[in-house]
Amino acid sequence: MTVNVSADMVMSLDGYIAGTDHSAANPAGQGAERIGGWIHAQSSWRERMGQAGGEADRDSDLMREWFEATGAVVMGRLMFDSGEEHWGDNPPFRAPVFVLTHRPRPTLVKEGGTSFTFVTDGIHNALDQAKAVSGGRNVDIAGGAGTFQQYLKAGLVDELQVHVIPVLLGAGLRLFDSLQTGPHDLEPIRVVDTPGATHVKYRVLKRK
Ligand SMILES: NC(=O)c1ccc[n+]([C@@H]2O[C@H](COP(=O)([O-])OP(=O)(O)OC[C@H]3O[C@@H](n4cnc5c(N)ncnc54)[C@H](OP(=O)(O)O)[C@@H]3O)[C@@H](O)[C@H]2O)c1
């Protein structure tokens, strides 16, 4: 069974997915409130977080589509450390999550179908484990930037959707920094424009 490997990233127009000085204690970093604000305003996100309200519009539908398409998740340890407390006992993933790390930790089983398995032997192993339990749905490379870049460079990402927030942050953590392996050719497969974001979905073309 072929499993699609996808990445959805919420990014400022100038390419940042977090602000400056991001850390586990300050996950979004300084100056990236517009990115976090867009995510936390969506009713689909709030529903997954057990919260009422939020915007029930096209942006929210696209986030729901992303959730529903995902059968397993891979993320970096910094994203996990940043989110662990905030996500609580019933994290929004509702799927097995594989966390790349150099620091082993026993698997955490949470409510709602989310588990966190800590993988210390590399990106291929984490992806293979995620594919094996994805039930044929997408494996989502959730981030952060370092994790996404490793999978892109290894030619393992099939689709990338960037949710471009109309703001210029000027500084922070860039999604596409230090790739050093370009060009990576992308084929646009869908564009959805809303006042909140421009959502561009690409197929990542395999290198010959
Ligand atoms: N806007 C968005 O869509 C979005 C999405 C996701 C994340 N983010 C943001 O991105 C930031 C985190 O990104 P980041 O690039 O700094 O970090 P990251 O990719 O989340 O995590 C990096 C860490 O993961 C572990 N790791 C990564 N690759 C590994 C490998 N091959 N083998 C073993 N361990 C590995 C290492 O941790 P250890 O050595 O400590 O174990 C490494 O320091 C946060 O601010 C988060 O809020 C934004």
Residue 142 belongs to a domain with what CATH number?
3.40.430.10
What tens digit of pLDDT does each residue of 26-58 get? 888 899 999 999 999 999 999 999 999 999 999
Instruction: Please identify, by atom number, the ligand 1 atom nearest to the C-alpha of residue 83.
Output: 47
pTM, whole model, 2 decimals? 0.97
pLDDT of residue 25: 85
Q: Which domain holds residue 87?
A: 5-204
What's the first-to-final CA gap in the chain, in angstroms?
Answer: 23
Among 39, 62, 100, the mutation site with the greatest number of ligand 1 atoms within 8 A of its Cβ is 100
Say how many Å lie between the CA of residue 78 and the centre of ligand 1.
4
Q: Which residues, judged by CB distance below 6 Å to any ligand atom, belong to the binding site of ligand 1?
A: 9-10, 17-18, 22, 27-29, 35, 75-79, 82, 100-103, 122-123, 142-147, 150, 173
Into how many domains does the chain fold? 1
What tens digit of pLDDT does each residue of 61-92 get? 999 999 999 999 999 999 999 999 999 999 99
